[in-house]
A and B are shown apart, each in its own frame.
Chain A
Amino acid sequence: MASSSTWSMCSLRAALPSISASPSCPSISFPKYPSSSSGFKLSKPKSGPKPINSFVGLAPMSTLLFPSSYQDSSFEFTIIDNGGRISAMRHGRKVPKLNRPPDQRKALLRSLTTQLLKYGRIKTTRARASAMRKYVDKMITMAKDGSLHKRRQALGFIYEKQIVHALFAEVEERYGGREGGYTRIIRTLPRRGDNAPMAYIELV
């Protein structure tokens, strides 16, 4: 069964014109919620069931159809999913640990918020992006307050002085009308080296 499926894939691929290689192999991951209905957590990342692999041969076929059709919903030909992590609940999980001891974690979040405030849009892993939101919002809220005390608190968190001063100067015109929600996260393709799910985080 396995040998026949690989043979058919190779011949299909050879017959079709070469499609430009995307970073991760095109895997059609159907929404995994039906599969987890039995209730156990799938902790293996990217557990592609065997029958689905034989459909990989069809992936070049679908990309041939795409050029003529509209790319309405195709973000990429590889699906941007949540990285194979399925769990229905978050009960009791208050602090994202980011696989680091507390001092390193704090330093990482400080540097990430500094970079985001400096560059406006950065690309990082999804876990880090969603962990940073709180701190970025805190910094912008402090800037909105604008008092000396808040400025000094911000200086104690952000690594570069100019960024704090620039932020305090321009936050009024940029975020004066907006209450909260100063960042946006856009999920993107996984990283090639370790297949980590990536995301862009940007200031709204």
Chain B
Amino acid sequence: MPRDRDPLVVGRVIGDVLEPFTRSIGLRVVYSSREVNNGCEFRPSQIVNQPRVEVGGDDLRTCYTLVMVDPDAPSPSDPSLREYLHWLVTDIPGTTGVTFGQEIVCYENPRPSMGIHRFVFVLFRQLGRQTVYAPGWRQNFNTRDFAELYNLGSPVAAVYFNCQRESGTGGRRR
């Protein structure tokens, strides 16, 4: 039995999407009054609209970037489109929410067709206000390369949840 480790490591988010990091900022994602915890399961009907995101920290001057990716696109057994970018918001001031930031890539309603997908929210700290260009397409997005490209360093917070097709067993019974 594995000893209790960081849920991000157990769910292999660290490994597939991110490098090991130490979280330093609180991140709270709420989908219509239900909070996202690591590894909990949502239904596509609950995540249609973008969530309310609250960034922690204590400084209104530091800006943060939020990325939402799906590392299991199109299916966990065949992640050829890893990762699929669902949402990209930059210049979020600390201690505020995502509405104060600049939405580079608008929120796309996740609709997993096959298998159980993980959806990861990653928060990076920006060095200053910078223009981030939207990638040409959403699939085959690489979070590590993105952080390299814009000098975001290692992430400061991450959280993930699972989601499967509405009409799968996840939809019929809790």
Contact = CB atoms under 8 A, between A and B. Distances in A.
Interface of A: 20, 23, 67-77, 117-123, 170, 184, 186, 188-189, 191-193, 200, 202-203
A120 B34 contact: no
B72 A121 contact: yes
Contacts of A119: 75-77, 114-116
B159 interface: yes
Given A20-B33, A117-B77, A75 B72 contact: no
Interface of B: 4, 6-7, 10-12, 23, 26, 28, 33-35, 37-41, 54, 56, 72, 75-79, 114-116, 159, 162, 164, 169-170, 173-174
Contacts of A122: 115-116
A74 B78 CA distance: 30
Contacts of B115: 119-122
A200 B116 contact: yes
A200 B40 CA distance: 11
B76 A188 contact: no
Given A189-B41, A200-B162, 10 more contacts: A68-B26, A74-B37, A119-B77, A120-B79, A120-B115, A121-B72, A121-B77, A191-B173, A192-B173, A193-B174
Nearest to B162: A200
A191 B174 contact: yes
**Most B CB within 10 A of own CB, among A23, A67, A75:** A75
Instruction: Please list the 8 inter-chain residue pairs (A to B) with the smallest Cβ-Cβ separation, ordered nearest first.
Output: A120-B77, A120-B76, A192-B174, A119-B115, A121-B76, A121-B116, A20-B34, A120-B115
A73 B4 contact: yes
A53 to B, nearest CB: 23
B79 to A, nearest CB: 8
A203 B28 contact: no
A191 B172 CA distance: 12
A67 B10 contact: no
B154 to A, nearest CB: 16
20 contacts: A67-B54, A68-B26, A69-B26, A70-B26, A71-B38, A72-B6, A73-B4, A75-B7, A76-B37, A76-B39, A117-B77, A119-B76, A119-B116, A122-B115, A170-B78, A189-B40, A189-B41, A191-B174, A192-B173, A203-B76
